[in-house]
Amino acid sequence: MYVLALLLVLLGGPQDMPPMDHSMHSMEHATEPAPLEPHTRMGSGTAWQPEDTPMHAVHWQLGKWSLTTHGLLFLVYDRQGGPRGVTQGAAPNWFMTMGTRPLGPGDLQARVMLSLDPATMAARGYPELFQVGESFHGQPLVDIQHPHDFFMEVAGIYTWRLGARTGLQVYAAPVGEPALGPVAFPHRESAADLPMAVLGHHQQDSTHIAFGVLTGGLIAGNFKVEGSWFNGHEPDEQRWGFDPIHLNSTSARVSYALGTSWVFQASRGWLDSPEALEPGQDVTRTTASALFSHGSVAAALILGRNEQEGAHQDGLDLEGTWTFASKNHVFGRFERVDRTPEVTVQAWTLGAGRDLGSVFTLPLTLGTAFTLYRKPDVLDPVYGDEPVSFYLYLRLRAPRMAMEHGAAHVH
């Protein structure tokens, strides 16, 4: 029932309300101090994104609560090339509602994020050449992107103001995201037109669904320093419920916002046996990233490294999207990832999309993308000489909020 209610809210509820009068809203709160974290700077978990990132959401007030709902749904025709290729349909998706209100000397935020992936794609996931991570029926997933769990985030955040630009933050989540890596790929604006997961997901941001997270942070102007105690185990194969909650891993992250268009982060995590099929195999993960958003352009450069038993595997992701004439999108991604310490794969993705109109006020986009791969010759008998993947998709997402930069703050 909760999922149905959430979908109804996303599809039709708040849009029936009159739009916010941002001039009156700004005057009403003119005497209040600016928030320590502008609303548009909040990404996934406690990760930062550029303040200029556009907000695709619906917003309304309920007493002292400022509520926001947003989400994303792809309907994908997925054709993977070569001898390992499979053709299949999939519908990756997520839906999120969060509410913020003043409380004492700070602000309280509650979040619930869900995904219907377990119902909208095959039990093992959707085909994606050279993707790895997690398992199905006790076997490692190879050339498959696993579904996300139904519960992606259930969390509370309290930000306690210490001064005009400083404060302390506590994030607690039965399921959520620790301070490790950049904004996760399902939530990055630079990846919003790309229907497939990042090949370096398990070297960069796979901890975005962790069953058990406690994070403490210090915000000082444009800097944020955080530490997390969390469950480093990847989610199990039972996608509908909660996994056992453990706190067995740690991480630290420092973030810096340069103006309103850039965010940089560096982080390091010590993960306890992340893969269920490799018990006792701990991983040290190091990431660094630069996210950019301004006007109609969003881009990201992300580096990740997993170190395990003296060996390391790297993943590089360079991605971006450009929207022009308000309804046309051109996007791409380049990746270089180690699949084993000896095998490195490169992938080039290029695509384009166009907004067709709206469904229940939600923008509907038709898009297509191609991915070309470069790999060691030793893999030719398995993958063929030059496999090419093809995607055709429809995308629904929440409408873009027409808000001035200063009015995008939640008070």
CB 124 within 8 A of CB 166: no
DSSP H/E element including 120 = helix 117-120
pLDDT value of position 243: 96
H-assigned helices in 167-295: 201-204
Q: How many helices (H) and strands (E) does the chain have?
A: 5, 20
Q: How far apart are CA 73 and CA 92, in angstroms?
A: 6
pLDDT value of position 214: 98
CB 72 within 8 A of CB 117: no
Long-range contacts, stretch 8-13, CB < 8 angstroms, 24+ apart: 9/58, 9/69, 9/97, 10/58, 10/69, 10/70, 10/71, 10/95, 10/362, 10/398, 11/360, 11/361, 11/362, 12/360, 12/361, 13/58
pLDDT value of position 5: 37
Give φ, ψ of 66 to 5 degrees: -100, 115
CB 269 within 8 A of CB 251: yes
Report the DSSP pairing between strands 311-324 and 328-338: antiparallel
Going by C-alpha positions, the residue among 245, 210, 238, 240 that lies closest to residue 150 is 240
Q: What region, left, alpha or beta, does residue 130 occupy, with left being phi > 0 and alpha being psi -120 to 50 degrees?
A: left
pLDDT value of position 310: 87
pLDDT value of position 14: 38
pLDDT value of position 406: 40
pLDDT value of position 31: 53
Give φ, ψ of 121 to 5 degrees: -150, 170
Q: How far apart are CA 167 and CA 108, in angstroms?
A: 13
* Residues sharing a CB contact under 8 Å with residue 146, sequence separation 6 or more, in sequence order: 124, 125, 133, 134, 136
CB 192 within 8 A of CB 319: no
Give φ, ψ of 389 to 5 degrees: -105, 145
pLDDT value of position 45: 95
Per-residue pLDDT of the chain (411 residues; tens, 9 = 90+): 333 333 333 333 333 333 434 443 444 444 566 788 888 999 999 999 999 999 999 999 999 999 999 999 999 999 999 999 999 999 999 999 999 999 999 999 999 999 999 999 999 999 999 999 999 999 999 999 999 999 999 999 999 999 999 999 999 999 999 999 999 999 999 999 999 999 999 999 999 999 999 999 999 999 999 999 999 999 999 999 999 999 999 999 999 999 999 999 999 999 999 998 889 899 999 999 999 999 999 999 999 999 998 899 999 999 999 999 989 999 999 999 999 889 999 999 999 999 999 998 899 999 999 999 999 999 999 999 999 999 999 999 999 887 544 444 333
Neighbours of 381 (CB within 10 A): 8
- The DSSP code sequence of 299-334 is EEEEEEEEEETTEEEEEEEEEEEEEETTTEEEEEEE
**CATH number for the domain formed by residue range(s) 2-408:** 2.40.160.10
What are the beta bridge partners of residue 103? 106
pLDDT value of position 18: 38
pLDDT value of position 403: 54
pLDDT value of position 401: 85
pLDDT value of position 341: 86
Cα dihedral 326, 330, 335, 339 in deg (nearest 10): 90
DSSP percent split of the chain into helix, strand, coil, nearest 5: 10, 50, 35
Domain ranges in the chain? 2-408
